Amino acid sequence: MNRPRGGAVPHILHLHSTFAPGGKELRTVQLINAFGRKARHTIVSAEPENLGAAQRIDKGIDVRLQPEFPSLKGWPMPGRLQRLAKAMKGYDLVCTYNWGAMDAVMAHTLFKDLHNLPPLIHHEDGFDESELTRLKPSRTWYRRIALGKAAGLVVPSERLEEIALVDWQQPLGRVKRIPNGIDTKAFAMRPKKDALRLIKHPGEFWVGTLAGLRTIKNLPRLVRVFADLPENWQLVILGEGDAGAREAILAEADRLQINHRVHLPGAVSDPARVIGLFDIFALSSDSEQFPLSVVEAMAAGLPVVAPAVGDIAHMVSAPNAEFIAPPGNEEELAMALVQLAVSKDLRKEVGEANRAKAVAEFDEAKMVATYRRLYSSAMRIDL
């Protein structure tokens, strides 16, 4: 095993497109907390104002936020790529995330040998709106070249694994599919009725979601499919993000005259404390891969209503499968929501099956152990 380059424990550099609370960011936090004091970390966001996920990192862990670092945004000109490469020197591992950090991946491949750079592991969790319906050829070619010297390419879903192997032409040994995992025991706890600023009153039922407020999540669609549920049903959307996306949700609620039943309390620091307040978990996204929020809902014993995007149809239990609608089909999504809303027994049956599958397949201990082996192998340093 190697010795850490700059101290008693390895130093890991994380390069993110954003570090606002979301799936990939919260998984990074999970791993940082799991590694504890066996590693120190530096986190750089292409959007320096979006660092909210860092608030969930345990105290006592050595983490440096947004130091002086070349911008992750810009044209991939040789001079800029050279500056990015030089900024990676001195670390023991570089972790990059999604398209927003791909220029750093390219810089690493071009200048790794020149600057004696540390190993790099890239993580891909999905696509933005620009690649929603088809992959951009220019980005596909760029990824093929940029990933040339990566020590690993981590994907959470079967669909992304196929894209990495076929479209991006990555060698089999480089691609690692690691499903997202959570602390399933924490999500089994019964939440307090006042766990949110929003109080759940007797006789109320909640359709809930955990989602970044982004266009690709298509939350106005969720407002529409919810609209026909009875008055004692409330829609609770937990998340933060674009002001425009938030306004679109509220505008749709106003148009349908259900704004008194649609609530946006903001993001929550600990989903395990609140998700059990939901009676049904719902997604309405145009694109997902392996959404952590679905695993969290399953671990909390909730039925899931969602479009069949990414791996969702394979993630949920067999009894839940009929409530996963074809992508873009609002009528079937609404029908699935109504079916579960009218039957408490059905919600319980489906939720229990989801809970059992989450515990068996998606507990975080397995995920953390796999990442620990991967990172340790790349650095040749035990984590």
How many angstroms separate the CA atoms of 317 and 327, rounded?
A: 19
How many angstroms separate the CA atoms of 311 and 273, rounded?
A: 26
Cα–Cα–Cα angle for 206, 208, 212, nearest 5°?
Answer: 155
The structural domains of the chain, with segments of one domain joined by +, span 11-181+364-379, 184-361
pTM equals 0.79
How many angstroms separate the CA atoms of 95 and 88, rounded?
A: 10
How many angstroms separate the CA atoms of 146 and 144, rounded?
A: 6
As given in the structure block, the two tokens for residue 92 are 């023991």
3-state secondary structure of 60: coil
pLDDT at residue 106 in the model: 98
* 288 class by beta-carbon count within 10 Å (0-12 exposed, 13-18 middle, 19+ buried): buried
Strands (E), 174-309: 175-177, 205-210, 233-238, 262-266, 280-282, 304-307
How many angstroms separate the CA atoms of 117 and 88, rounded?
A: 7
The per-residue b/e assignment along 95-112, b for 16 or more CB within 10 angstroms, e otherwise, is: bbbbbbbbbbbbbbbbbb
Q: Is the fold of 11-181+364-379 the same as that of 184-361?
A: yes
Low-confidence ranges of the chain (pLDDT < 50): none
- CATH of 11-181+364-379 among 3.40.50.300, 3.90.280.10, 3.40.50.2000, 3.40.50.150: 3.40.50.2000
3-state secondary structure of 37: helix
How many angstroms separate the CA atoms of 30 and 239, rounded?
A: 18
pLDDT at residue 35 in the model: 97
* Assigned CATH class of 184-361: alpha beta
